[in-house]
Structure 1
């Protein structure tokens, strides 16, 4: 992990001074709110038409936020900085040398007002540890840490079949990708009987949308409870007859001596986690459309005889790199349960600690070719343990479905590339130039040609 000499020298100074924490001034706080916090809430409320945010746009949070965070890091010598956030004080982690401590914190929990998002069809939130009983079933059912899921054979067959429906028109867009992935997800989680049940997927989307406003949890209204109850009852019907290879079928066989586990509830979570797949798939294919040599190599891997094993190492690296550039979760926030020490400064229990993941993953001061698509970086030794890159988080909060998520996205990309060449992609990207700060999947259009 690299660190600039200037930052290292100043960080030593920041740890002295009677153990006083570094605090953002009034001007810094206003700039932080304007460039980092508020744009996310505005976009969540307004939605808007499909677009790719330009680096100079007022809503280009990654671009403007990065400038704000770099200025704070320079001013305070890289020390964690207390900033007044929208929900109270935040301790913002700005220097790579503090990333290990953030991920190693065992006595911390996800912030209660933050939605839990996992970058794949997995288990707990990447921002903190989850209860042991839930973590146990997630690890077992999702085969956490295993590169190829035990049910990879049936899953790959489902993905190949759904991809044929997806590519029939010669153009890939988000709406079609969502339908194909949702259908595949229902089959992988609940079984083939749920394949056509778009009503269930609609209930899950609406219940989650009604329960979240401005990116914050707003509680369970009567409408949310009714939708949740309908979805739970429907899932329970499918769960009773799900094939053994499905996720809920595997959950049924999981040991439960205390009777406290809820496979039906877990199935709901796994179905919702599949919502992250379409955007990641489209971004990955768009990046491959721009990098033709990488696309040809990925297509060769997809067409090779050993592709049926589900490993697909090159395509998995492409997916990881896509998630580095455009992560599902831009910020991780934990609330400490005990007093913690950062750079010689003690902070009380209940401190909200924020790690701006996107900032670190695209930080040109510490990440080579930070704004360029370089999937080969994931082939280097130790890349998966590099705390600067965290598409699935690290430590106790690591998404237990990371490998399954990679398998699903890589398999969808492989199924597309096996029979088609992505000839043209919109929006237009520069192969060697800096990639845009954000890439809205609603604006992605991919034109396919038979291979």
Structure 2
């Protein structure tokens, strides 16, 4: 058990008890506030595929900041919690204390499994045998395969040279097009991004295979509605069959080649691990475009990044900038775990099958405990505080989750994001058309509406 950081609340009424000895249940009014101010925004934006319109609205009304303020209010009222809420057919527990964040993430997959009811309902649409939604036994075969192919422990993947070459080619092409319009927008960036991703994951032959990324996007759109949307099994099987063909081709320098030559049992389901990598790269695109806003708006940052590109490939400053983008605007705002057995907390117990929720924006943007909460602070990641390096005494910054369930592809993602970001500023002078004050950053930032003026380096 982590240390107990319980402190008294503000003296307001305690929440109701949901049975003897159980974690307290929020009042009806607090239920409504949590549902509308904390849980609604991630659902409306799209949990699996982001919807640009709602994302832009969330930015306009700064709804993510409202969620952080609501979490602060709950903590002031109820102390370190956790607290419990109910929706029809589901019992939820909201984590309020840093120690409990560490406890839950360190306790993956038992007694806190990442294979939650909600994730299974969503991911079964396109990757029903992925490690993320596997049982503890299945996970023992699937997680190591992910870690080996993605080389989770290496900051720079052994295929970095091939990856970097693809990134340099595609960014050069992207900026050549942007020179005609004088503007870099999301649509142009996303087209180049997916050309890069297909080459990194599947090989150069996949550069123009828009169909494969269109197919997974169609499946992920259905996944936004989880159990409410019937599965399109025919499309899923066609998509997985195409992935299998790329693995069989095993193009040198691709992750598909790594899958082909990595020994794995049938239980590992190698093909079904790949969709999760493509899925993760979608979020990485948002993080990179937001990071470009940070670089172009913070005094001296672009120059620092440009100079660092001469010392590739580790790129610590660029990597820290991407991590700051993910801290400030988490692409996975809700970290979910289901309890596999009864668990005991300072405020009572929770039965097996409870969904435990960590609202990452609260822990990333709580100015009461984190002085850098609302400003661009790459030094947070330049001082040995990368994911996986923080212990249970550290304030939880969890852009890639943490503990045994930390994203196995974090280093591949960070390498890709850093190199794309670095190439953009190395080759051109970019100016954000919607300037940010990096000392007081908003709670939401839509990548879909961001635009940059492009000019030659002078």
2:402 pairs with 1:394: yes
The alignment partner of 2:56 has SS state of coil
Match of 2:372 in 1: 369
In the alignment, is the contact (CA less than 8 A) between 2:84 and 2:93 conserved in 1? yes
Matches within 5 A, 1:94-109: 94-105=96-107, 106-109=110-113
Match of 1:120 in 2: none
| Inter-partner Cα distance in structure 2 for 1:197 and 1:367 | 44
The alignment partner of 1:260 has SS state of helix
| Inter-partner Cα distance in structure 1 for 2:246 and 2:158 | 21
Of 213, 216, 225 in structure 2, the residue corresponding to residue 201 of structure 1 is 213
Of 239, 242, 248 in structure 1, the residue corresponding to residue 256 of structure 2 is 248
| Inter-partner Cα distance in structure 1 for 2:306 and 2:206 | 31
Distance 1:229 1:192, change over 3 A: same
Runs of 5+ consecutive residues of structure 2 not aligned to the other structure = 125-129
| Inter-partner Cα distance in structure 2 for 1:212 and 1:125 | 17
Match of 2:418 in 1: 410
Match of 1:350 in 2: 353
Matches within 5 A, 1:295-444: 295-302=302-309, 304=310, 306-307=311-312, 310-343=313-346, 345-382=348-385, 384=387, 385=390, 386=394, 388-422=396-430, 424-432=431-439, 434-444=440-450
Cα deviation, residue 439, structure 1: 0.8
The alignment partner of 2:444 has SS state of coil
| Inter-partner Cα distance in structure 1 for 2:326 and 2:208 | 30
RMSD: 2.9
| Inter-partner Cα distance in structure 2 for 1:67 and 1:268 | 35
Q: TM-score, normalized by length of structure 1?
A: 0.87
Q: Which moved more, 1:60-69 or 1:127-136?
A: 127-136
In the alignment, is the contact (CA less than 8 A) between 1:126 and 1:332 conserved in 2? no
Distance 1:148 1:47, change over 3 A: closer
| Inter-partner Cα distance in structure 2 for 1:342 and 1:364 | 26
In the alignment, is the contact (CA less than 8 A) between 2:193 and 2:285 conserved in 1? yes
Match of 2:127 in 1: none
In the alignment, is the contact (CA less than 8 A) between 1:291 and 1:431 conserved in 2? yes
Q: Which moved more, 1:180-189 or 1:102-111?
A: 102-111
Distance 1:152 1:232, change over 3 A: same
Q: TM-score, normalized by length of structure 2?
A: 0.86
Distance 1:62 1:403, change over 3 A: same
2:453 pairs with 1:447: yes
Runs of 5+ consecutive residues of structure 1 not aligned to the other structure = 118-122
In the alignment, is the contact (CA less than 8 A) between 2:82 and 2:347 conserved in 1? no
| Inter-partner Cα distance in structure 1 for 2:55 and 2:433 | 11
Matches within 5 A, 1:54-65: 57=61, 60-65=62-67
2:34 pairs with 1:32: yes
Q: Which moved more, 1:287-296 or 1:377-386?
A: 377-386
In the alignment, is the contact (CA less than 8 A) between 2:277 and 2:409 conserved in 1? no
Match of 2:161 in 1: 153
CA-to-aligned-CA distance 1:164-194 (integer Å, 9 cap, x gap): 1111113222111211121111111111111
In the alignment, is the contact (CA less than 8 A) between 1:126 and 1:393 conserved in 2? no
2:118 pairs with 1:113: yes
